[in-house]
Amino acid sequence: MIVQRWRRPAWAGVFTFAVVFVAWYVLTTLTQTISPGRFPPPGEAWDALKQIAVTGYADARLSEHVLHSVKLVLLGFTAATVIGVPLGLAMGASRAFEAFVNPAFLLIRPIPPLAWIPLAIVWLGLGDAAKVLIIWFAAFVPAVINSYGGVRAIEPHLIEAARMLGVSRRMAVREVLIPGALPMIFTGLRLSLQACWTTLVAGELIGAIAGLGHVLYQASLDIFPAMIVVGMAAVAVTGALMTMLLGWLERRSMPWRT
Amino acid sequence: MRSTANVAGSRTLSFRRWLALSIAGFVAFFAIWWLIAASGLVQRQFLPTPLEVFERFVALTHTPFVGYTLQQHLASSFGRFAAGFGLAVLIGVPLGLLMGWFRWLDAVVSPLFDALRFVAPIAWVPFAALWFGTGIGGPVLIIFSGAFPPCVINAYRGAKYVEPRFVEAAQMLGATHFRMITEVLLPASVPSIVAGLRISAGLGWQSLVGAELIVASSGIGYLLVKGQAAISTSIVMSGMIAIGIVGFAIDALLRTLERQINQRRGIG
């Protein structure tokens, strides 16, 4: 079916944000329909941003909170990818292995990552180790499922051709299996990165000494709506940047897909 | 399922071997768990045996913990979930269809929607607490923010990918905007919308658990937090199992719905 390509005009986005900003300013500052205790006026949000960026809030500056959160996500995410992707590939390649591993996997899979938070806290306390464990869980399941699905989605005749040409097992894995499964692996990584980020913020909200979730928690305790807005914006921007970085990595590692 | 893509070069598994291996895997999972717990490597308090967790699970269904039994916690969680998910569907699907039909709306709403989507649902917790306290509104807001985007996106995609012929035919016959949306776009996008509902329900259920861990005084997430505070791993694990079962049931229900709709349309 033919879908007409239509680009959203850029001015519309600018227009929308301008309208939202004006409405925000008018409702909170001019008419005060929304009380500052419920949602902060733009001026206060700007001051809160300056405060956290320059003097710091909740024991650290914004850049330190961001770095702390990002570091934990990358640790857990990398560990999950390093273990999950090969496991998924092996499950995709060997039906016997799949049959053996799948039951345990099916038991763990329906439990959402956020539900691991209390268990991780019981096991490891409120420190960074518990966060990394939770993030690991958040990233592990999508990494396995998508690597597995990626192998299963490889065209059978590609595999038959490789076998007919008598390639060794190692070569089959390197030249057929991994490149063939790569698109879906990256889909999985993108999903799991978002899940990691959400999970980390939740973990930090429940108990942490630093990080963006901790900023949100502290702002919520202090009833500081302006800082809540700044924290939420920081969560969104950091999450978006990490997703973009992964997208760039995806294009770099699959040059044949352009 | 497609024909066997087996890189390792071994043949397909016979059903018998598959069953044997599956059972072996199942047994191995519990055996390893039991061995670690029973060997005393880890303190019992931190890793109970599978049997102990099962007993605790059963006990929770008739003796109340933090005020309610397991079923009552689940019921209050499910009420919140239904409210948040229902709102997300009722607002998200029409919005997606409208954005798929009116380009100006698409142009105006999409940038804002894309920006808001990056805010993790859990990041709404402080505002949920500020605006609603620990009442029902807070968790519903968080569930809504988790479940809303897939509803909009899938309805929008469904509406965008409608056969142009249908749209043209309806236009030629003089359909109004309202009839175009309700009688052409909506029926044509049902498969996409239902697929979106599945994603949306999954994210909503996850967000609910997160929300209840922080802002709630009942519900399954609250049970987890209290179990954690009491350093009772078996309660925490029982709660996780209950969450898993309900999440699985919701997904299975929507999957059945999806399959039936697709079958009726001759897709699946």
Q: Is residue A46 part of a domain?
A: no
Q: Which residues of A touch B16 (CB under 8 A)?
A: none
Chain A residues closer than 8 Å to B224 by CB: 115, 117-118
Question: Does B82 fall in a domain?
Answer: yes
What pLDDT sits at residue B175?
86
Question: Does a structural domain hold residue B63?
Answer: yes
Same domain, B99 and B225: yes
Number of domains in chain A: 1
Average pLDDT on B114-142 reads 85
| Dihedral, B20, B21, B26, B28 alpha carbons, nearest 10 | 110
Tell me whether residue B134 is in a domain: yes
Question: Is a pLDDT exceeding 80 seen at residue B69?
Answer: yes
**Chain B neighbors of A1, CB-CB under 8 A:** 161, 163-164
Instruction: Give the pLDDT confidence of A14-50 residue by residue, as tens digits.
Output: 888 888 889 888 888 888 778 877 888 888 889 999 9
Total-model pTM? 0.85
Distance of CA A190 to the CA centre of its chain: 7
Asked if residue A72 lies in contact with residue A204, where contact means CB atoms within 8 angstroms, the answer is no
N-term to C-term CA, chain B: 12
Give the domain extent around A76: 53-257
Chain A nearest-CA distance from B222, in A, is 10
Contact yes or no for A99/B25 (Cβ under 8 A)? yes
Structural domain including B81 reads: 59-264
Q: What is the pLDDT of residue B133?
A: 76
Residue type, A136: W
Residues of chain A contacting B127 with CB distance shorter than 8 Å: 225, 228, 232
DSSP one-letter string for A125-140:
TTSHHHHHHHHHHHHH
Domain-embedded: residue B182:
yes
- The contacts of residue B196 (CB under 8 Å, 6+ apart) are B150, B151, B153, B154, B155
Domain count, chain B: 2
Which residues have a Cβ under 8 Å from the Cβ of B87 and sit 6 or more positions away? B140, B144
| DSSP calls for B116-169 | HHTS-GGGGHHHHHHHHTTSSHHHHHHHHHHHHHHHHHHHHHHHHTS-HHHHHH
pLDDT digits (tens, 9 = 90+) for B136-172: 788 899 999 999 999 999 999 999 888 888 888 888 8
A141-172 pLDDT, tens per residue? Answer: 889 989 998 888 888 888 888 888 888 878 88
Which residues of chain A register pLDDT less than 50? 1-3
- pLDDT greater than 50 at residue B2: no
- DSSP states of B191-213 as a string? HHHHHHHHHHHHHHHHHHHHHHH
Closest CA to B240 of B113, B57, B28, B24: B57
* Domain co-membership, B75 together with B23: no
A45 domain residue, yes or no? no
CB pair distance less than 8 Å for B125 and A117 = no
pLDDT, one tens digit per residue, over B51-67 is 989 999 999 988 888 88
Residue A19 lies in a domain: no
Residue B91 located in a structural domain: yes
Instruction: Kindly state whether residues B109 and B24 are assigned to the same domain.
Output: no
Name the residue among A96, A111, A172 with its Cβ closest to that of B13: A96
Chain A residues touching B6 at Cβ < 8 A: 93-95, 159
Say if the Cβ atoms of A96 and B12 lie within 8 Å: no
Residue-averaged pLDDT of chain B: 87
Residue B38 and residue B77 in one domain: no
Assigned domain for A133 exists:
yes
Q: Quote the radius of gyration of chain B (alpha carbons, Å).
A: 23
3-state secondary structure of B256: helix
Pure H helices in chain A: 10-25, 42-50, 62-93, 95-108, 117-124, 128-152, 156-164, 169-172, 178-206, 212-221, 225-253
A141, part of any domain: yes
State the pLDDT at residue A70. 93
- In a shared domain, residues B87 and B218: yes
Q: Is residue A132 a contact partner of residue A158, using CB atoms and an 8 Å limit?
A: no
pLDDT at A133: 93
In a domain, A145, yes or no: yes
Q: Does B66 touch chain A (CB under 8 A)?
A: no
pLDDT (0 to 100) of residue A258: 53
Residue B147 lies in a domain: yes
Confidence class for position B268, pLDDT limits 50, 70, 90: very low
User: In angstroms, rounded to a whole number, what is the distance separating the alpha carbons of residues B76 and B142?
Assistant: 15
Residue B183 is classified by DSSP as I
The Cα of B10 is separated from the nearest Cα of chain A by a number of Å equal to 8
Q: Is residue B104 predicted with pLDDT exceeding 90?
A: no
B152/B210 same-domain check? yes
Tell me the angle at which helices B70-101 and B220-229 cross, rounded to the nearest 10 degrees: 130
Is there a single domain that holds both residue B141 and residue B260? Answer: yes
User: In the structure encoding, which two tokens stand for residue A16, read together?
Assistant: 């929308």
Phi/psi of residue B65, nearest 5 degrees: -120, 135
| pLDDT tens per residue, range B172-192 | 888 888 888 888 888 889 989
Same domain flag for B82 and B23: no
Q: How far is CA A184 from CA A23, A236, B105, B149, B208, in A?
A: 42, 25, 33, 22, 28
* Residue A151 covered by a domain: yes
Please say whether the dihedral angle defined by the alpha carbons of residues A74, A77, A80 and A81, taken in this order, is positive or negative. Answer: negative
Q: Are B164 and A1 within 8 A, CB to CB?
A: yes
pLDDT at B11 over 70: no
Q: Do both B160 and B27 map to the same domain?
A: no
Same domain, B74 and B126: yes
CATH for A89: 1.10.3720.10
